[in-house]
Amino acid sequence: MTATKTPTERPPAQRVVRRAGDRLFAGSAKGSGIFILVVLAGVAAFLIGEAIPALTAPAEDVPGGEGLSGYIAPLVLGTLLGAVLALLVATPLAVGIALFVTYYAPRRIAAGLGYAIDLLAAIPSVVYGFWGLAVLAPALVPFHVWAADHLGWLPLFAGPASTSGRTMLTVGLVLAVMILPIISAIAREVFSQAPALHREAALALGATRWEMIKMAVLPYGKSGVIAGAMLGLGRALGETMAVAIVLSGGAGATLNLISSSNPSTIASNIALRFPEATGLGINTLIASGLVLFVITLAVNMLARWIVNRRADFSGAN
């Protein structure tokens, strides 16, 4: 008699032999990830170590004589003000461009327009800075005067209007052009991956193209647009040369967008003052760089969290 195999018995698991190429690729990928973390930790350790003298120094010894917080606070305000202004201008434009390229423009025009928008990311920051200084700033002077006369009751346009146009408003518009290709590229990619089942169902039910976009495309791509905007915000926070060329900074904390008295940004302040700084001044600049490092890291972590939040979404669900 032959022994019958019970239903609970299973054949022994076979050991999968990984090829040398697979092991090499897995080790390289893991090593690259660890290397990035080590570099990030090294940068953070350097910034913290160099910033300690400024953190522990008396307030009167810090440049400005108001302590480290009094020195960095206006810079943080200027950094956030310019970056947020750029984000408010660039995000609607990027979404509109992405929708036009993806769902409205003919295929040939869409491809060329997409390439043209992406090429904006290849222009050096110095070129943007000189463009803002020589072209955009003089062109905005009439608007500064008009805003000071008609909108002066708002803190953002309190005036007096700048006669040179080198204001925080000009910087915000320059940064908006610089981050536009980042947000637009991510938005185009997300919108193009909207589930065809949802789009075709909306059109089959009689929806117009805009109604289809509103019901099937925008809800699907909302998290991607937010993540792209956060990445663009991180780009604007760290911009140096364009801001240093355009902005006439150096004033204290103010929300005035059209005056010549503007708070500088952290990155541009470091670039302008570091060559002449000595001793505690260098430590103070590095401490402000540490603050910018924390802000940028927080923005990128927020963007990654938003992307992962919708990672499991699919059109079939």
Q: What's the whole-model pTM score?
A: 0.83
Helix (H) / strand (E) containing 295: helix 280-309
Does position 316 have pLDDT exceeding 70, yes or no? no
Cβ–Cβ contacts within 10 Å for residue 298, how many? Answer: 12
Dist CA 183 CA 97 (whole Å): 10
Section 205-211 average pLDDT: 83
* Contact in structure between 248 and 166 (CB atoms under 8 Å): yes
Instruction: For residue 121, report the phi and psi dihedrals to the nearest 5 degrees.
Output: -75, -15
Alpha-carbon distance 138 to 140, whole Å?
5
What residues have CB less than 8 Å from 120, skipping those under 6 apart? 177, 178, 180, 181
pLDDT digits (tens, 9 = 90+) for 21-58: 778 888 888 888 899 889 988 988 988 888 888 888 77
**Residue range 164-188: average pLDDT?**
89
Please give the full DSSP string across 245-292, using - where no structure is assigned: HH--B---S---SSSS-BPPPHHHHHHHHGGG--THHHHHHHHHHHHH
Q: Residue 67 pLDDT > 60, yes or no?
A: yes
Residue 65: count of CB within 10 angstroms of its CB: 11
Contacts of range 307-313, beta carbons closer than 8 Å, 24 or more positions apart: 307/223, 307/224, 307/227, 309/223, 310/223, 310/224, 313/220, 313/223
How many alpha carbons lie under 13 Å from residue 109 in its C-beta half-sphere?
9
Mean model confidence pLDDT for the chain: 83
Q: How many Å apart are CA 304 and CA 227, to the nearest integer?
A: 7
User: Among 102-106, 288-292, 299-303, whose mean pLDDT is lowest?
Assistant: 299-303
In angstroms, rounded to a whole number, what is the distance separating the alpha carbons of residues 56 and 264?
24
Between CA 236 and CA 248 the distance in angstroms is: 18
Model confidence at 106: pLDDT above 80:
yes
Q: In the numeric block, which tokens belong to residue 269?
A: 């302040």
Q: Is the pLDDT of residue 315 over 50?
A: no
105 pLDDT more than 60: yes
Could you tell me the domains of the chain?
57-314 (1.10.3720.10)
Write the pLDDT tens digit of every residue in 240-299.
Answer: 888 888 887 666 777 888 887 788 888 888 888 888 878 888 888 888 889 999 998 888
- The tens digit of pLDDT for each residue in 118-131 reads 888 888 889 998 99
